[in-house]
Amino acid sequence: MIPKKFAPALFSLILSGLMSFLVSGISTFRVSGLTSEFTGLWFGAWLAAWLVAFPLVFVLAPLVKKTVEWLTTSSD
């Protein structure tokens, strides 16, 4: 198991990986269609997107969490 102190990094890694995978797939499909090059193009686009998305999610997630807490109220 992974120690709890690495939870924010693991969260950022998984979330950024999944989101960049899906968004790059949709974008690649819209541009190239389902051609024989699709998988290679998608992988390249996803890897480039993930390299940007991971550090951004890692840095921005705490700020977004605080913003959501500020914008919402408890229903007590």
How many domains does the structure of the chain reveal?
Answer: 1
Given this model, what pLDDT does residue 74 score? 78
Residue 53 lies in a domain: yes
Residue 6 lies in a domain: no
Given this model, what pLDDT does residue 76 score? 67
Residue 34 lies in a domain: yes
Given this model, what pLDDT does residue 45 score? 97
Query: C-alpha dihedral over 38, 39, 40, 44, to 10 degrees?
Result: 100
Residue 3 lies in a domain: no
How high is the mean pLDDT of the chain?
Answer: 94
Cα 34 → chain centroid: 23
pLDDT below 70 — which residues of the chain?
76
Residue 2 lies in a domain: no
Residue 61 lies in a domain: yes
- What are 17-38's pLDDT values in tens digits? 999 999 999 999 999 999 999 9
Domain interval for residue 34: 15-69
- The residue with tokens 């120690």 is 3
Given this model, what pLDDT does residue 22 score? 97
Q: Which of 38, 42, 46, 43 is nearest to 19 (CA)?
A: 46
